[in-house]
Chain A
Amino acid sequence: MSEKVFDYYLDGKTGKWEVIIGLEVHAQVSSNAKLFSSSSTKFGSEPNSQVSLVDAAMPGMLPVINKYCVEQAVKTGLGLKAKINNFSKFDRKNYFYADLPQGYQISQFKFPIVGEGKVILDMPYGTKEVGIERLHLEQDAGKSLHDQDPQNSFVDLNRSGVALMEIVGKPDLRSPEEVGQYVKKLRSIMRYLNTCDGNMDEGSLRADVNVSVRKVGSRELGTRCEIKNVNSIKFMQQAIEYEAKRQIEIIEEGGAVNQETRLFDTKKIETRSMRSKEDAHDYRYFPDPDLLPLELDQDYINNIKKSLPELPDEKKARLMNDFGLSSYDASIIISDQEISTYYEEVAKNSDYKLAANWMIVELFGILNKENKEIKDSPVSAKNLSKLINLIKDNTISGKIAKTVFEDMIKGNQDPVEIINKKGLTQQSDPKELEKIIDKIVQSNLDKVEQYKSGKDKLFGFFVGQAMKETQGKGNPKLINDILKEKLK
């Protein structure tokens, strides 16, 4: 792979600009019940059917924390190689909105459950380390529907109180591409740990994107704007591009960027200012008097650490070291836990590199074409493993294997059966091949002369003939070797 260099710079009228991006990612914890109440977190239920008295902020209601959500936050923190804080507190973030029944959100301000950590990205120009500032637990808000009625909004509190992990990243990202990789990596880590399903369509993962710009070479940070609640990587990337250009234009015309909160309009592909949130910036944080501090002892944290599955970075290192995969191939395999599980199943009994190759090229080709996930793969790991072994032991050639594969995807057929049914077993008997090749040589003596006198390209002709004679089943390597001998 060619050595690429980072090159996301925007050309302004006055020179080159770089873009500084920091993300605040909100990830819903995959728990059964909510963070401070026992109602269900299931997505897509009838409106207001998963709302407890606590979620609706009825008079006299009190929060009780869900221990599983605490564990998931600790797990995620460990996955981010972050410091787990033995002492943390819950604070109230006070503001008014129809989807916030308490008139405050229970969050963590001064003492979050997780401290500094980092995430490593594989970029085409090398690895990039992105710093994590902190991770804290907080309540999600409900949903307001504004398009059902001309005068009114409708409020659904099903989501009110669901546990969110807010992952605050340092402003280390420098391009929409890096942002995409960052979000994918976070998502992958949390899916490996089973702490968040990362399902952006269902709102399990969304981000507030902080964007600022500065002239290349400058060390100071420019004024940033926050683009709130972006729920797909594509939108994040579009929003960043638009916002960066907008800011550059303002500065180059002599103006100054206002620090403000903006929304991304997914239809117009532009960001615009959110007027109504202007005055709500004074959140009057104070420790929630209905809760006690969260104290986690080191044994608790160590037990969770011991129980962690292998994380993407570790798995990648192991695939490269123990399985001899290239960095590129390993990255693809680990990108999703289900993919890596499938791979390890295949590689358990067959050649590592062939397994990687076949998955990445052939299997993914089919999955992409049919828009399927690996869990719906038309070919089981066991059968793919069998196919690879058949190639490895020369029963069939790689080329024939491709045709076998085409049959395998129709109902996960066993490759051995296909080969037997269609008689595709490779012709690897050297004596037989020699016989066939002798015949070809004899029938093409003129071409043999031409080859011997320098027309190297004619070698392919002989190979082709041998393949034809063997109906494609000839062992290519043997054919090659025998021909070389015969045409010396």
Chain B
Amino acid sequence: MATIPKYTLVELVNKIKSKEISAVDVTNAYVERILKSKKLNAFISETLESALEQAKKADVINKKDGALSCAPIAVKDLFCTKNVQTTASSKILKNFIPTYESTVTSKLWDQGAILLGKLNCDEFAMGSSNETSAYGNVINPYRNNHDTLVPGGSSGGCSSAVAANLTSATVGTDTGGSIRQPAAFTGIVGLKPTYGRCSRWGIVAFASSLDQAGPMTKDVADSALMLDVISGYDEKDSTSANVKKVEFLRNLKKDIKGLKVGIPKEYIVDNMPKAIQSLWDKGIGFMKDSGAIIKNISLPHTKYALPTYYIVAPAEASSNLARYDGVKYGFRAAGKDLIEMYENTRAQGFGDEVKRRIMIGTYVLSSGYYDAYYLKAQQVRRLIKNDFDSAFNEVDTILTPTAPSSAFKIGDKTEDPISMYLNDVFTVPVNLAGLPAISLPGGLDESGLPLGLQLIGKSFDEQTILNAAYALEEKIGFQSQVKDWWM
């Protein structure tokens, strides 16, 4: 029983289908761990009883079909789940019970997966450390001596839960790095698909032109399996890409001979920790060993990606979050008239980081400033995309570190918003260009904390980055160092 949560998703599904283990045993194993792991605060809502019921039923009627047959999965609390509380980790959506299911999570349940619960995250996906949630911080299953560390963000509950084996896999969302950076901080695999690959319908929107759902898993094969399930055109999302479905898991291979791998010089930032540079060098070495061809490339506008992001994302967010007004759902504060009700509801219902971003977003769109900020940012965004388009004329994938550091101590970066934003320096350009990227654990730093390597791909070429990651994963041979210290 204790070994069950250690299986990868692919292994688990095979064992369930072959009846080697029952759905109930699997679900029980996860439930046990979840109940003993409250300290990590990875969950906002748990649906453990209903999960066990579903597992029981599946065993009784022997329904083990579907690509995720009976795999217990918890999802980021940004996905609207029918009849299950969905809060976006905010007070303003406390007790909101959707009467509908998001497209991505529907696909999970259609393939037989069982919902374990909703995972904590940064409020409205705004953050890089899961320290802005109205439901408390999430703790990284990796510790630095006895310091508790952040699990990354915004999908911190997801990364923590996967790393701590509280779920067989999960789906998070990535707007500026919110899948990849937490994956790097917790030693797991996080994939942000091409913008449009997965439907955004039913996902609480943060920044519409950047948000994308993606799998967070124990290894690369699991990631491919999850992507097979959650990807697909959705007419209900006008930005959903009408592209042919690919069988990522079936086509997964380790042979990357001749693959052209780009190393962008602009990603060598000032004060880059030695461990990160040596991790990167190690990755380059492994690629070469696998027969890949390394090329130095330039993405000249890299340094402008963060400022661009911090104009575009808050601008879109300020508009997307206008619907949280206490009228139709969620929290409502008292007010002597409508305007006062709005103002009090939003002041009390939103946390500081969210308010910061709404204010900046409102400002950059406001009369007199639109051209100077928002329009300009949209123009720089095109330059950033053009950089990648040019680079991809010469290479098939780009290899970079995922984050500029390993997981830091809780509270370390909350004083200055900019220092927090700098966490996204390697991940943000990818969202601006709408490209796919995957982070996999590349090794540990001198404190024994995981570091991630990122592979960026061409539009809709998740297969290439999955393959490259698959090859790299084998060469790296990363082993989880998580000890159940919190139990």
Contact = CB atoms under 8 A, between A and B. Distances in A.
Direct contact of A and B (CB under 8 A): yes
Interface of A: 53, 56-65, 92, 94, 96, 98, 101-104, 153, 155, 276, 281-282, 284-286, 289-292
B209 to A, nearest CB: 4
Nearest to B86: A59
Given A103-B323, A289-B209, A291-B238, 15 more contacts: A59-B88, A60-B79, A60-B98, A60-B201, A60-B203, A64-B237, A96-B339, A155-B327, A282-B367, A284-B319, A284-B362, A286-B374, A289-B316, A290-B239, A292-B238
A69 to B, nearest CB: 14
Nearest to B124: A59
B315 interface: yes
B319 A103 contact: yes
B327 A98 contact: yes
Given A59-B88, A282-B366, A64 B238 contact: yes
Contact of B325 (A103, A281, A282, A286): A103
Nearest to B369: A284
Contacts of B238: 62-65, 290-292
| Dominant secondary structure at the B interface | loop
Nearest to B100: A53
Interface in B171-203: 200-203
A179 to B, nearest CB: 31
| Dominant secondary structure at the A interface | loop
B329 interface: yes
Contacts of A281: 367
A60 B80 contact: yes
Interface in B206-256: 207-209, 235-239
A351 B315 CA distance: 67
Given A59-B323, A286-B370, A98 B338 contact: yes
12 contacts: A53-B99, A59-B93, A59-B204, A60-B79, A60-B203, A102-B323, A103-B321, A155-B327, A284-B318, A284-B366, A284-B367, A289-B209
A284 B365 contact: yes
B319 A286 contact: yes
B322 interface: yes
A284 B371 CA distance: 11
Name which of A53, A61, A103, A285 has the most chain B CB atoms within 10 A of its CB.
Answer: A103
A276 B338 CA distance: 11
B342 interface: yes
Interface in B307-322: 315-316, 318-319, 321-322
A438 to B, nearest CB: 89
A60 B239 contact: no
A98 B342 CA distance: 10
CB-based closest 10 A-B pairs: A103-B322, A289-B208, A284-B365, A289-B209, A57-B323, A60-B202, A59-B204, A282-B367, A60-B80, A60-B203
Contacts of A291: 238-239
Nearest to B79: A60
Contacts of A103: 319, 321-323, 325
A286 B207 CA distance: 13
B98 A59 contact: yes
Contacts of A53: 99-100
B146 interface: no
A291 B329 CA distance: 25
Contact of A58 (B100, B235, B339): B100
Contacts of A292: 238-239
Interface string B63-97: 00000000000000001100000101000010010
A261 to B, nearest CB: 16
A72 to B, nearest CB: 19
A104 B316 CA distance: 12
Name which of B200, B203, B238 has the most chain A CB atoms within 10 A of its CB.
Answer: B238
A155 B370 CA distance: 33
A104 B86 CA distance: 23
A408 to B, nearest CB: 56
Contacts of A94: 318-319, 322, 365
Contact of A290 (B208, B235, B315, B370): B208
Contacts of B14: none
Given A65-B238, A284-B365, A286-B319, A101 B102 contact: no
B79 to A, nearest CB: 8
Given A284-B370, A289-B316, A64 B236 contact: yes
Contacts of A65: 238
A255 B315 CA distance: 41
Interface string B423-447: 0000000000000000000000000
Contacts of A59: 80, 86, 88, 93, 96, 98, 204-205, 323, 329
Contacts of A58: 80, 98, 100, 328-329
Nearest to B201: A62
B400 to A, nearest CB: 26
Name which of A60, A92, A290 has the most chain B CB atoms within 10 A of its CB.
Answer: A60
Contact of A64 (B80, B86, B235): B235
A361 to B, nearest CB: 55
Contact of A60 (B204, B209, B318, B367): B204
Contact of B338 (A63, A104, A153, A284): A153
A374 to B, nearest CB: 43
Name which of A65, A96, A155 has the most chain B CB atoms within 10 A of its CB.
Answer: A96
B372 to A, nearest CB: 14
Contacts of A286: 315, 319, 365, 370, 374
A102 B238 CA distance: 17
B365 A62 contact: no
Contact of A62 (B96, B200, B316, B339): B200
Contact of B200 (A57, A60, A285): A60
